[in-house]
Amino acid sequence: PTRLTTSSLRAGSRALAKDADLAHVIKEVGPCKIEITGGGFAVLARSILSQQISTKAARSIRRNLQDLLPRRRLAAAPILSLSDQQLQSAGISAQKRGYLRDLAERTVDGTLNFRRLARADEETVIDELTQVRGIGRWTAQMYLMFGLGRPDVFAPDDLGLQNAVRDLRALPARPSAGELDEIARAWRPWRTVAAWYLWRSLDGLGLG
């Protein structure tokens, strides 16, 4: 599968600028700077820890957990060796402890093979990741975008993207997921890049 690079980010931005509304956002925001984190266990572990809490709280919990691990590295086997009390002491809720253990167990026993996922098509990645407790379609889509750097992924259920497109197209109401999916087809094969610009358009850059 194709992976985003510096040159393809530029190519994607140029292609998307043919959309007059997006061209305005691209001009205001500047070059697309998607950072590809690389796939793997740590990316998904961080996403689980970040669910439904503030960025600051998530960062604090992640640091606490890393303090319990060899070389402060988020890895599956060392996490499985931690007791429930240790995980709780790091500030991880009972529900998230269950999610984290399920992810770690699947990683250690090979059910979740990250090298194989890196070569798989998007729907296969989503299907496999959503088998893990606590990982839904949105998290799997973020993994494809920012973990694996896939250029043509979109998350029409994302409220931020729905709000951004409402403003971009001056729609009377926020589009539904189905409507947004239809709108985003025009941005193929660069929907990941379009999504990045749409999120950035929400950052109070004086657009509009």
Sketch the domain layout of the chain as residue ranges. Answer: 6-35+152-201, 41-147
Domains 6-35+152-201 and 41-147 share a fold: no
**Residue 40 identity:** G
Instruction: Write down the CATH number for the domain with range 41-147.
Output: 1.10.340.30
Instruction: Write down the CATH number for the domain with range 6-35+152-201.
Output: 1.10.1670.40
Is there a catalytic annotation at residue 158?
yes
pLDDT in tens, 118-173: 999 999 999 999 999 999 999 999 999 999 999 999 999 999 999 999 999 999 99
- Does pLDDT of 204 surpass 70? no
Mean model confidence pLDDT for the chain:
95
- The reported pLDDT for the residue numbered 208 is 40
Find the angle CA(139)-CA(58)-CA(97) to the nearest 5 degrees: 70
**What residues have CB less than 8 Å from 51, skipping those under 6 apart?**
96, 134
Task: Estimate to the nearest angstrom the gap between the alpha carbon of 135 and the chain centroid.
Answer: 11
Look up residue 105 and give its two tokens.
């167990």
Rounded Cα distance, 162 and 154, in Å: 11
Q: Which of 21, 67, 109, 158 is catalytic?
A: 158
Phi, psi of 36 (to 5 degrees): -85, 115
- Does pLDDT of 109 surpass 60? yes
What predicted TM-score, i.e. pTM, was given to this entire model?
Answer: 0.88
> Of 133, 186, 148, 205, which Cα lies nearest the Cα of 1?
148
Number of continuous H segments (helices) and E segments (strands) in the chain: 13, 0
Rounded Cα distance, 165 and 125, in Å: 26
Quote the DSSP letter at residue 199: H
Burial class, 26, CB count within 10 angstroms (exposed 0-12 / middle 13-18 / buried 19+): buried
**Percent of the chain beyond pLDDT 70?**
98
